[in-house]
Structure 1
Amino acid sequence: METSPVFIDYVTIRQEYFGGGLPVLNDGKVLKVDADGEIEYSTDVRCIIEGSYDSRVQVRCDGNTVEFTGNISRYGRRDNLFGYDWPTTIARINDLLSLLGLPPFTSGKLYKFADTGWSWSGARVSRIDLTCNYSTGSKESMHAVLCHMAGQHVGRQKGSLSPDSGTVEYGRGSKYVYGKLYAKYQELEKHRSKKSGSHVSDDVIDYCKTEGILREEFTLKSRFLLQNNLAYLGAITQDNLNQIYADRTQLQRLEDMKYENFNDLPKHLRSTYASWKLGLPLDISRATRYRHRTELLAYGVDISIPNNVHHLPSRVRVVELKPLTAPDWYIQNYG
């Protein structure tokens, strides 16, 4: 069976067991007390379950309801550059619940109700993060795509580029869907200084740089899942999630993207070229101007002619975006 390039990161899921009698698992309780000293309500705090390589997820059970939240594809692994599809994700979560003495999440049965229509009886899902990795071929191409996408719109939301030029966000704060596109190697290097990110291998980071890996990610929140009839485990399939991703992705809508690329210019020519392109005075001597003009002619640039839209030379590189699945070496070494 062909592996889907779309995989799952974060999941929040819960299921109520009406028979009760389950082991209680929490990290204490939070109480709200009114002015008269009466307890209005109490909530069990999720218990943090730690795995190898400083990974962790959260589980809670009050004796009747089991809840899981976290990124199971990172749990017990050095990194989550490549995660798992939906069935494998649920299976791994259920394996962990079994180790904790808790029952698994199940699809339950499909029932028809007169007022609400068809509905499942099993586990309910309130968050799913869909993810796909793309190869752009190089770091330079990757950053060119990010800069391009920062100017695009998803619906009414315009992309926002982070100060480090490593992330474009769409819909931050949305209660429906939040999307982002980011340079994976920058994220790994950023977390390298933290204990939880210190286990990522140099091979993985180098691979992300060499391939120019971009990660596109969508957080499907409870409102989205409910409105799209995906709030129950029994209603969700990998095909559902693949289609949702295909409908929302911005990258797969792009044809081969072309952008001007002068990163291969010798360093001593870049400042001259940049000034010429912006129409600024060339603050260099006559001899340097003559020498730089001669060298830049090989790149299709003639700095003796003022730059304008009618005489703009084009030197372009084509960025080909390729969805990635985990290569054999990654699977063998990192699972």
Structure 2
Amino acid sequence: MIDWLSMVVPCTHSEPITGGEVVSIKPGGEVDWHCVKRTTVEGSFSTGLQVRTATHTAQPCSHLEISGNPVKFFQGHNLWGTDDLLALSVTTVETVASLLGLTPSAQDVESWHSGLIQLTRVDVTQSFHLDNMAQVLAWLRSAEQTAHLSHRGRGQLVKGSTLYFGKSSRRWSLKLYAKGQEIRAKGHGQDVILALPSAVEWAEKTLRAELTLRSMELKRQGLHLAMAWGGDGVPSSVTAALLRDRFGGMTMTTTSHLSAEILDSLRPSLRMAYQSWAAGADLREILPARTFYRHRAALLPHGIDIATLVPREVSNVVPLFKVLEAKPVDVPDWAQGTPLYFEPARVA
């Protein structure tokens, strides 16, 4: 699902669109800096989209900056939603232009449908089902201790229900969280869901994975234009591939003890490294980098990842691995064809 879009879209308009300005004044009274604020475009639900005239363009009032959660804007929630980024972005800008009373040029409209929409941030998500929320929370607690993500290291568990990898990265970050808790959080604007028992039940057993791609990473992967998200003609293929690649870089400790037979087969330096890890030592802080990675590679086949801290409990880890390897849950049948699932018109 496409959960967030920040984009710069060609859309000719006569007057600047802003929500005012923020101005910093120096002690002497002169202006230090100023920033144009975004205005909020409200839809049928409580969620709005942030819009302003793009300023770094060759011609004034030629582009719009649009940022927000279009799925929640159109259907009132983000339990599920479309993977068709091009169709969603085109429908979003058409709706914004209409609500603002703008008349885009024929060239603007042609650019939209050609996918010439610049993306500066995209959040993509997938949902996995466990039996209940208790299992989702147990999975997150175990993953905090046992999971290691390539290029991001160990995760950081926040408020007991959201596990972040690379939270402050300027390129990309991954978070996993309990969707059932999120829909009840203050300010998330999911009231339309809380009144539906079937939707609440669906959310309560949902482990949500959310990958945020920022401008530099989008450019690096050649995904900074909406036209690049077609993926073999299947809109969902790009989203699935992005998350599959990230999960492919995740390792998890599936045991905390090696048998005596395996221990005896290890060379002394590797055995000592394992024993130090098992005693609670953080080997990243002790070993030289090359030695650390050599030992890590040797122990991974035995279910030990010394890049993580020794787990206090591992009983919930293997089921987690099975969840991530399984096919993500799709939009429930009972939601399709109803206002609970917004499907934008495909772009030919």
In the superposition, the TM-score normalised over structure 1's length comes to: 0.65
How far does residue 205 in structure 1 lie from its aligned partner after superposition? 1.5
Per-residue CA shift, 1:238-268, capped at 9, x if unaligned? 433332221013699889x89xxxxxxxxxx
Query: Is 1:221 the equivalent of 2:214?
Result: yes
- Give the unaligned 5+ runs of structure 2: 55-60, 256-314, 342-348
> What amino acid is aligned across from residue 234 of structure 1 in structure 2?
M
In structure 2, the residue corresponding to 1:248 is in which secondary structure? helix
Query: Is 1:328 the equivalent of 2:333?
Result: yes
Task: Give the match for residue 101 of structure 1.
Answer: 101
Task: State how far apart, in whole Å, the 2-side matches of 1:195 and 1:152 are.
Answer: 28
How far does residue 101 in structure 1 lie from its aligned partner after superposition? 3.5
Per-residue CA shift, 1:189-227, capped at 9, x if unaligned? 223xx4833332342222222xx2100001101111122
Task: State how far apart, in whole Å, the 1-side matches of 2:223 and 2:203 are.
Answer: 33
| Map 1:1-335 → 2, pairs under 5 A | 7-16=1-10, 21-31=13-23, 42-61=34-53, 63-85=61-83, 86-99=85-98, 100-102=100-102, 103=104, 107=111, 122-150=116-144, 151-155=146-150, 156-164=152-160, 166-191=161-186, 194=187, 196-200=189-193, 201-203=195-197, 204-209=199-204, 212-237=205-230, 238=235, 239-249=237-247, 318=319, 320-321=322-323, 322-331=327-336, 332=338, 334-335=340-341
Say what the alpha-carbon RMSD is for the aligned residues.
3.5
Task: State how far apart, in whole Å, the 1-side matches of 2:13 and 2:44 are.
Answer: 30
Cα separation, partners in 2 of 1:75 and 1:328, compared to 1, 3 Å: same
How far does residue 28 in structure 1 lie from its aligned partner after superposition? 1.5
Cα separation, partners in 2 of 1:190 and 1:64, compared to 1, 3 Å: same
Task: State how far apart, in whole Å, the 1-side matches of 2:191 and 2:147 are.
Answer: 34
8 Å Cα contact 1:107-1:232 kept in structure 2: no
Cα separation, partners in 2 of 1:36 and 1:149, compared to 1, 3 Å: same
Task: State how far apart, in whole Å, the 2-side matches of 1:136 and 1:315 are.
Answer: 11
In structure 2, the residue corresponding to 1:189 is in which secondary structure? coil
Task: Give the match for residue 312 of structure 2.
Answer: none
Task: State how far apart, in whole Å, the 1-side matches of 2:173 and 2:109 are.
Answer: 26
Task: State how far apart, in whole Å, the 2-side matches of 1:92 and 1:181 are.
Answer: 28
Task: State how far apart, in whole Å, the 1-side matches of 2:318 and 2:62 are.
Answer: 59
How far does residue 74 in structure 1 lie from its aligned partner after superposition? 0.2
In the superposition, the TM-score normalised over structure 2's length comes to: 0.63
8 Å Cα contact 2:72-2:78 kept in structure 1: yes
Task: State how far apart, in whole Å, the 1-side matches of 2:158 and 2:70 are.
Answer: 27
In structure 2, the residue corresponding to 1:75 is in which secondary structure? helix
8 Å Cα contact 2:147-2:250 kept in structure 1: no
8 Å Cα contact 2:138-2:316 kept in structure 1: no
> What amino acid is aligned across from residue 198 of structure 1 in structure 2?
D
Per-residue CA shift, 1:82-116, capped at 9, x if unaligned? 02111332133123133123436765799xxxxxx
8 Å Cα contact 1:29-1:45 kept in structure 2: yes
How far does residue 42 in structure 1 lie from its aligned partner after superposition? 4.9
In structure 2, the residue corresponding to 1:334 is in which secondary structure? coil
Task: State how far apart, in whole Å, the 1-side matches of 2:176 and 2:97 are.
Answer: 35
How far does residue 315 in structure 1 lie from its aligned partner after superposition? 11
8 Å Cα contact 2:149-2:251 kept in structure 1: no
Task: State how far apart, in whole Å, the 2-side matches of 1:251 and 1:82 are.
Answer: 25
Task: State how far apart, in whole Å, the 2-side matches of 1:147 and 1:316 are.
Answer: 9
Task: State how far apart, in whole Å, the 2-side matches of 1:324 and 1:177 are.
Answer: 24
How far does residue 55 in structure 1 lie from its aligned partner after superposition? 1.2
Cα separation, partners in 2 of 1:42 and 1:161, compared to 1, 3 Å: closer
Cα separation, partners in 2 of 1:329 and 1:13, compared to 1, 3 Å: same
Task: State how far apart, in whole Å, the 1-side matches of 2:3 and 2:94 are.
Answer: 17
Cα separation, partners in 2 of 1:178 and 1:252, compared to 1, 3 Å: closer
Per-residue CA shift, 1:43-83, capped at 9, x if unaligned? 43111112233111111126222110000000043311002
Quote the sequence identity (%): 24
8 Å Cα contact 1:134-1:215 kept in structure 2: yes
Cα separation, partners in 2 of 1:108 and 1:11, compared to 1, 3 Å: closer
Cα separation, partners in 2 of 1:214 and 1:66, compared to 1, 3 Å: same
Cα separation, partners in 2 of 1:315 and 1:60, compared to 1, 3 Å: closer
8 Å Cα contact 2:90-2:113 kept in structure 1: no
Task: State how far apart, in whole Å, the 2-side matches of 1:29 and 1:315 are.
Answer: 50
Instruction: Name the larger-Rg structure.
Output: 1
Per-residue CA shift, 1:109-140, capped at 9, x if unaligned? 99xxxxxxxxx9x3321100010011123333
